[in-house]
Structure 1
Amino acid sequence: METVEIQHFEGKLSQEGGSQAPEESKRGGWISFPFIAVSVMGLSIAAAGWASNLIVFLITEFNVKSITATKISNIVLACSSLFPIAGAIIADSFFSSFPVVAIFAFVSLLGMIMLTLTTTIHSLRPPRCAFGSSTCEAPTDLQYAVFYMTLALSSLGLGGTRFTIAAMGAEQFEKTKDQGTFFSWYYIILYGANVISFTAIIYIQDNVGWGLGSAICAIANAIGLAALVMGKQFYRQVKPKGSRFMGIARVVAAAIKKSRVSGTFGRQDYYSETNVILKDQEDSAPAKNFRLGIFSSLTILQALTMDRHLGPNFRIPAVSFLVFNLLASTTSIFILERFRIPMRRNLMIHRSLTPLQRIGIGHFINILALVVSALIETRRLHIVRTHQGSDQPGLVVPMSAMWLVIPLAIVGISDGFHFPGTVALYYQEFPKALKSTSTAMVSLLIGIGFFPSAVIDLIDRCTGWLPNNTNEGRVDNVFWVLAGIAGMNFGYYLICAKLFKYQNVEDHDGPLELPDH
């Protein structure tokens, strides 16, 4: 009797695809989403856990000078933003997305294990000393070598998984609408994981111990890798179609050659699937990410000079104010995806927002955030000038730092429109053979935002608005300049968006499909 029941249960699992891999035609879709979601969550918690607090670790645990620590952090973050391009090219040209993500997730796990060993084994880091002391013992060459290897593995793992897994998730869906929904949920999970790291993980690292914090990151990474592998039988595998970059080079060469030939050419004369170049986004997105990088830096400077107390005994760390940006981004994306169909049904709207429309709305809201930041800073400086001792660099202005939540939340809403729209546009409009590369392009643009120091230095040299003592500066003028640049960039974007022609017109401009009841 028991044997019969076991056989019946095994047969049921086989029919449902529980113990055997489903047929290729039945793979993909939303059944694969839980595995990808858990993987994104685990890998993102691990990545943000070590990357967000890297400067503090270098200064407090590795006895690195603050300027050197900042340079190391910028190099690591920049490399992490460039590596996705290499991973995407490998996925598109030689392997499918799944093996690339799995391999780099394992590389990331090795980095997390080495980081845990570095933070727990005393011989792998220099002796601790008082913060700011001039007699701290510098790390040895061996300690530097081990730590740089740790950063290399962690950066490779982060770069090879973050956006390639986004392309892998989108590959599970055939409809453009489902792909757009997936990208929105991808960013919700990504931002949610960052919130956990920016709060819980950083608190553990600063107040309990770096060893425990690193171990939690390693465990999260391991869970993400395990979830990814467990869902393999449910994934739709898209076979690579060979390198398209030689084809792109040939197209460019042919275009240069044809430019010398007089005559009128129709679409059929010059179109190939490798000619989809999203010039409007490639031109406007870097400007936006420069502004966002500067915005974050200036907001932290503002928070350091304002009252950050939340109650009588708790003071919010200045860096943790960026969590409000992530929360707003996550909430706005969730609301857009969760309530868009009921809202459109009630308002009798029959077309969904196109990716370009979402990006344009994000640009406009970003301008509003910069204007609000300028007004808040003007108010802060007014309080500074009416307060005695305002020339003291460490003076805390009697103005609540919670005012900064307003522009941070507005920028978060802007991101909720902008980034999912950008990655959806890239994925839908790039050639089929470059889907992973399309999502990695977003990482390249984000990476530009890690280099705001040069722009800030240029503004300071030309204007003197950013002295060491922020209370004597004119950060409000910087925000007004950024708002003006954002306005001009938005106008340029509108022109490019107007001229842009979708390759998949029926996917972007078709009527909204409502579910049957």
Structure 2
Amino acid sequence: MSKEESQEAEAPKKDGKGGWITFPFILGSAFGMTLAASGVTANLTVYLIKQYNVKSIDAAQIGNIVNGCINLSPVAGAILSDAFVGCYPVIVFSTLLSLLSLVLVTLTAAVKWLRPPPCAFGSADCQSASSGQLAFLYIAIALTAAGCGGTRFNMLALGASQFDKPRDQTVIFNWFFVLIYAAGIIGTTVLVFIEDSISWTLGFGLSATANAASAVVLLSGAKYYRKPAAQGSPFTGLLQVVVAAFRKWNVTITPANPSYYFRAINGGNINRAKTLDQTPNGSLLGRAPTQSLRFLNRAAWICDGETKPNGSVAKPWRLCSVEQVEDFKVLLRIFPLWSSSIFISVSISIQLGLTVLQALTMDRTVGPHFSVPASSFVVSSLASTAISLCLLDRFLLPLWHRLTRHTPTPLQRVGVGHFFNAAGMAASALVEHARARVVRAHRKESEAGWVVPMSALWLVVPLVLVGVGEAFHFPGQVALYYREFPSMLRNTSTGLIAVTIALGFYLSTAVIDLIRRTTGWLPDNINASRLEKVYWIVTVLTIANFSYYIACAALYRYQNPLPEEEEEEEEEGRQQQLNVND
């Protein structure tokens, strides 16, 4: 923590809550929850293959679906937080539910009759798990998704709510990602090694212990937290905008029309706004809606019979406030940018799933007595992200600010992330091309389970590039959404990242399934596959998606620019005026 942050921590808060004193409790709990989750999910594909005799590609597909569920559940938690009970109760409940789920996962490893008989890797005579055994495992994993996933981005929203300044919230965003990636590194190395080399029961048991410690840390800081209350469902108001605009599709808005726009103030009291011709580009404070997406402005246009004598709304599904209309416009404006991030997650999901399968068939030895677990190779991506975030927060971004007098915007950071992601996919294709050449040179030995005489450390290179990209685009997206979204959607805004990741895992499963159905590139025997073609297709699509993002970013205009960005825009305007005068 910097000296400025420490001084602010000492300053009394108006409500006696929040500030830097909450930092160790919230982020410490997030660290423990991520460690607990990664100890299970990082090695799930190998666990299914070695302990449940699931075929390799099927196990990778199941792993992607589970990861998708873990990342989608925070959306339900965010909606529940915003609309009904607030952020903190959801986090507490999810933490305890996660603890229960990890106890059940540990039982699948400890109790023999919950698993099929053991079988040699690559053997064609393995006995499949029974429906009851799979049902018990999947229930445990489903609870893990609901519990562990439900806390991740809600904790981020809770952490941000402890501060008022965007600069402090940015620090929380960066350190949140540093700690969860650090926890992922430990889970993917230490816990995975224990599971593979010592005991699955011990490894899963340690995950449950980390979850329990996380719950203790979270509850210990309860008296210091600001706990934002639920503000009611924001989605009802947004839906009303769509319905009202559609129902007034034939309403003509003209300067001669005696109706007015209508806005809510002071918790629901309604006030008439000036007409559109009087303030064509006015702000929301007492003026008309903005001109962009103006077909939605009909929803806030007051027609006969839509208000009561006291000025309140008589027909909420025919009349909305200017604020509701503008909030809905924010979502529409940001949707193209958000959609461009989905394929980033698709490509990462495909890479992570296939990398584990590649590593299982390659030489993983380091030194004479140590073999790296296949699932641990993804730690290189996590480590590169964590290191990159630290360098960005403490060195690169401050240096960039000193040299250029401005800080990279969230859109610029996301764009850099797109670039590194595309480079990582191309590197994966090149590494797999080299692996396939070695396999073809030893065609006679290339049966399932055969170890290719090529170091699996080559897989680290593309993972590092993708990890650097994540250090740019994930925090950049969080900062963009939290800053641009209406206050009533702050928790939901951080959950958008979870939706992106979840869709990435789901869609990657669909992409792999489509490739399996239409080509012969992905047989169960990876040594007989054409993975390099899969990676090249992903690379081309990633580059095309990057181009789409550039177009979206060029057209986007910030709704809530920071003071330094406003100064930069004013300076640009002055320079342009000077050029015109010259």
* TM over 0.5, shorter chain: yes
The superposition leaves residues 101-148 of structure 1 with CA deviations (integer Å, 9 ceiling, x where unpaired) of: 01111111222233334443556x24743445857585574x666545
Match of 1:335 among 391, 397, 400: 391
Moved more, 148-157 or 276-285: 148-157
Query: Does 2:187 align with 1:194?
Result: no
1:219 paired to 2:275:
no
**How far is 1:345 from its partner?**
5.3
Contact 1:126 1:140 in 2 (8 A): no
Does structure 2 conserve the Cα–Cα contact (< 8 Å) formed by 1:42 and 1:220? yes
Q: Which residue pairs with 1:477 in the alignment?
A: 533
Does 2:243 correspond to 1:253? yes
2:233 to 243, 262, 276: 243
305-314 or 143-152, which deviates more: 143-152
Quote the residue 1:272 is aligned against. 326
**Quick one: distance in 2 between partners of 1:122 and 1:464?**
37
CA distance in 2, matches of 1:465, 1:71: 15
Cα shift readout 1:371-413 (whole Å, capped 9, x = no counterpart): 2233333334444445564765555444332222111111100
Summarize the Cα distance change of 1:292–1:103 in structure 2 as closer, same or farther, 3 Å threshold: same
Match of 2:204, as an amino acid?
S
State how far apart, in whole Å, the 1-side matches of 2:131 and 2:444 are. Answer: 44
Whole-angstrom CA distance in 1 between matches of 2:23 and 2:179 = 12
1:129 aligns with 2:125: no
Select the structure of larger CA radius of gyration: 2
In structure 1, the residue matched to 2:294 is none
Identify which range, 310-319 or 223-232, moves more after superposition: 310-319
How far apart are the structure 1 equivalents of 2:338 and 2:59? 31
Measured in 1, the distance between the counterparts of 2:538 and 2:246 equals 37
How far residue 284 of structure 1 moved from its aligned partner, in angstroms, is 0.8
- Relative distance call for 1:291 and 1:60 in structure 2 (3 A) is closer
- CA deviation after TM superposition for structure 1 residue 338, in Å: 1.2
For 1:323 and 1:477, the matched residues in 2 are separated by 25
Once the two structures are overlaid, the 10-residue window that deviates more, 440-449 or 75-84, is 75-84
Q: Which moved more, 1:380-389 or 1:219-228?
A: 380-389
Tell me, in whole angstroms, the C-alpha distance in 2 between the residues paired with 1:478 and 1:127.
33
The SS at the match of 2:371 is coil
Q: Is the 8 A contact 2:481 2:493 kept in 1?
A: yes
The structure with higher relative contact order (CA 8 Å, sep 6+) is 1
Distance 1:303 1:51 in 2: 17
Equivalent AA in structure 2 for residue 403 of structure 1? W
Q: Which runs of 5+ in 2 are unaligned?
A: 1-8, 255-275, 282-287, 290-296, 298-324, 569-582
Q: State whether structure 2 residue 372 is matched by structure 1 residue 324.
A: no
Give yes or no for contact 2:388–2:468 (8 Å, CA) kept in 1.
yes
The 3 A distance-change label for structure 1 pair 482 and 91 is same
Corresponding position: 1:437 with 2:492: yes
Aligned to 1:400: 455
Pick from 102, 106, 113: which aligns with 2:103? 113
Aligned pairs for 1:38-437 within 5 A: 38-61=28-51, 73-121=63-111, 125-126=114-115, 128-131=117-120, 134=125, 136=127, 138-139=129-130, 141=132, 146-257=136-247, 260=250, 266=280, 268-269=288-289, 270=297, 271-277=325-331, 278-340=334-396, 342-344=398-400, 346-347=402-403, 349-386=404-441, 389=444, 392=447, 395-437=450-492
Q: Do 2:61 and 2:509's aligned partners in 1 also have CA atoms closer than 8 Å?
A: no
**Conserved in 1, the CA contact under 8 Å of 2:91 and 2:155?**
yes
Counterparts of 1:481-496 in structure 2, within 5 Å, are 481-496=537-552
Shift of 1:426: 1.3
Task: Tell me: CA distance 1:284–1:59, structure 2 relative to 1, closer, same or farther (3 Å).
Answer: same
| Distance apart, 1:156 and its partner CA | 1.6
Cα deviation for residue 207 of structure 1 reads: 2.5
With over 3 angstroms needed to count, the CA separation of the structure-2 counterparts of 1:380 and 1:74, relative to structure 1, is closer
1:450 matched residue in structure 2: 505
> Counterpart amino acid of 1:233?
K
d(CA) in 1 for partners of 2:200 and 2:126? 23
Q: 1:211 to 1:457 in 2, by over 3 A?
A: closer
Give SS of 1:207's match: helix
Equivalent position amino acid for 2:492 in 1: T
Matched residues in 2 for 1:464 and 1:65: separation? 16
Query: SS of 1:399's equivalent?
Result: strand
Partner of 1:178, secondary structure, is helix
Task: Summarize deviations over 1:185-212 as a string: whole Å, max 9, x none.
Answer: 1111111111111111112222222332
1:12 corresponds in structure 2 to none
In the aligned structure 2, how far is the partner of 1:209 from the partner of 1:161? Answer: 28
Change (3 A) 1:407 1:262: farther
Secondary structure of 1:502's match? coil
Distance 1:259 1:490, change over 3 A: farther
Worse-superposed segment, 86-95 or 271-280: 271-280
For 1:460 and 1:91, the matched residues in 2 are separated by 40
Separation in structure 1 between the aligned mates of residue 61 and residue 517 of structure 2, nearest angstrom? 20
Q: Could you tell me whether the CA contact under 8 Å between 1:60 and 1:128 is conserved in 2?
A: no
Give how far 1:77 is off.
3.1
Over 3 Å counting, the alpha-carbon distance change for 1:104 and 1:46 in structure 2 is same
Q: Cα 1:385–1:490, aligned 2, differ >3 Å: closer, same or farther?
A: same
Contact (CA 8 Å) 1:352, 1:511: kept in 2 or not? no
Shift of 1:365: 1.3
User: Share of identical aligned residues, percent?
Assistant: 42
Match status 1:501 vs 2:491: no
1:290 CA drift (Å): 1.2
Gaps of 5+ in 1: 1-16, 513-517
Q: One-letter code of the match for 1:361?
A: V
Deviations 1:255-301 (A, max 9, x none): 33455556697563334224311212332111111111122233334
Taking a change above 3 Å as real, the CA distance of residues 79 and 397 of structure 1, as seen in their structure-2 partners, is: closer
Provide the C-alpha distance between the structure 1 equivalents of 2:446 and 2:216, rounded to a whole number of angstroms.
55
The alpha-carbon distance between structure 1 residues 360 and 263, as it changes in their structure 2 partners (threshold 3 A), is: farther
AA of the residue aligned to 2:370: F
Which secondary structure state, in structure 1, belongs to the residue aligned with residue 454 of structure 2? Answer: strand
